[in-house]
């Protein structure tokens, strides 16, 4: 059964990642748990899975990729700083990750629910951005971007949730004139080092590096899904993708609430 189940899960989640820049940990971790995978194994495996699939998603669009390098650099620095702080905290204080994950999951579910509502409001107030509008980047916005990315980075090693979902919401809220394709590209680009560093730090702190057999099954479906998402992305408008992100955030928050209630 799992010979087909896990490749299908990988395929579906990979398409969602490629289209919106989010959905990896938020959808993959609950899916693996519902399939009977222990929570810590699911988190560790998903972190490594996310870094690999995001590489393929980014590579599939390398010819057309356009990103604002200042925003991307701040996102990377802030998120990695947060991830490293969390890894040190885990290592020094030997936190019970399963218990702490429940607390953080409730926080994340509430945050995702609120941001889903915020995106609906944004979609109703902003017209579809064609990329012709001026992107205003100030020191205040970059500082806000850094602290938001730092916060995301502190959460990802513990839950595998947030690198995509919260990242793209950050970009859409702070930089509403940023073209949607740039938002997705920046979100995927910064999440690659974040998920990889989070996986390594979790491995060092807990001696748990995930299930490599499970990873291969997920990748078997996710690699073609990443390339298919690029084909679909070219046929969608920015407004449609923002609506899709809003729906995914709502579903994600409900899934996380359900996961906490069932554990």
pLDDT band at 77 (very low <50, low <70, confident <90, very high): very high
Range of the structural domain that residue 48 is part of = 2-262
Is pLDDT larger for residue 158 or for residue 99?
158
CA distance 67 to 255: 31
pLDDT at residue number 201: 84
CA 261 and chain centroid, separation: 23
Is pLDDT larger for residue 85 or for residue 252?
85
Q: Which tokens is 156 given? A: 């990802």
Is pLDDT larger for residue 220 or for residue 138?
220
pLDDT in tens, 240-260: 666 776 777 777 777 777 767
Pick the closest to residue 46 from 185, 211, 187, 229 (CA basis): 211
Is the pLDDT assigned to residue 221 strictly greater than 50?
yes
Average pLDDT over residues 225-229: 76
Is the pLDDT assigned to residue 163 strictly greater than 50?
yes
pLDDT band at 209 (very low <50, low <70, confident <90, very high): confident
- Domain count across the chain: 1
pLDDT band at 74 (very low <50, low <70, confident <90, very high): very high
Q: Which tokens is 59 given? A: 């590579």
pLDDT in tens, 169-182: 778 788 877 777 77
pLDDT above 90 as % of the chain: 10
Is the pLDDT assigned to residue 165 strictly greater than 60?
yes
With a CB cutoff of 8 Å and minimum separation 6, the contacts of 136 are: 175, 177
Average pLDDT over residues 132-144: 74
pLDDT band at 125 (very low <50, low <70, confident <90, very high): very low
Is the pLDDT assigned to residue 128 strictly greater than 50?
no
Mean pLDDT value across the chain: 76
CA distance 77 to 69: 12
Average pLDDT over residues 119-145: 65
pLDDT at residue number 2: 57
pLDDT in tens, 88-124: 887 776 556 556 566 666 766 776 676 677 666 555 5
pLDDT at residue number 193: 92
pLDDT in tens, 28-40: 877 787 788 887 7
Pick the closest to residue 148 from 122, 123, 174 (CA basis): 174
pLDDT at residue number 23: 58
């Amino acid at each position: 059964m799992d010979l087909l189940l896990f490749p299908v899960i990988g395929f579906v989640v990979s398409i969602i990642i490629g289209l919106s820049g989010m959905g990896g940990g938020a959808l993959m971790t609950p899916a693996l748990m519902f399939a009977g995978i222990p929570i810590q194994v699911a988190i560790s495996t998903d972190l490594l899975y996310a870094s690999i699939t995001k590489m393929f998603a980014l590579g599939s669009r390398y010819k057309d990729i356009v990103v604002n390098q200042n925003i991307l650099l701040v996102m990377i620095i802030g998120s990695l700083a947060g991830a490293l702080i969390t890894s040190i905290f885990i290592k020094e204080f030997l936190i019970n990750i399963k218990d702490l994950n429940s607390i953080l999951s409730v926080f994340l579910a509430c945050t995702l629910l609120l941001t889903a509502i915020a995106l609906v409001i944004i979609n109703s107030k902003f017209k579809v951005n064609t990329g012709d509008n001026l992107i205003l980047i100030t020191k205040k916005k970059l500082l806000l971007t850094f602290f938001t990315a730092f916060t995301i980075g502190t959460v990802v090693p513990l839950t595998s949730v947030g690198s995509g979902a919260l990242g793209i919401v950050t970009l859409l809220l702070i930089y509403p004139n940023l073209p949607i394709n740039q938002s997705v590209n920046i979100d995927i680009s910064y999440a690659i080092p974040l998920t990889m560093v989070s996986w390594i730090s979790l491995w060092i702190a807990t001696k748990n590096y995930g299930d490599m057999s499970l990873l291969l099954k997920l990748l078997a479906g996710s690699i073609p899904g990443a390339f298919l998402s690029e084909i679909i992305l070219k046929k969608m408008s920015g407004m449609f993708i923002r609506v899709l992100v809003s729906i995914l955030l709502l579903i994600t928050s409900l899934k996380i609430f359900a996961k906490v209630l069932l554990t």
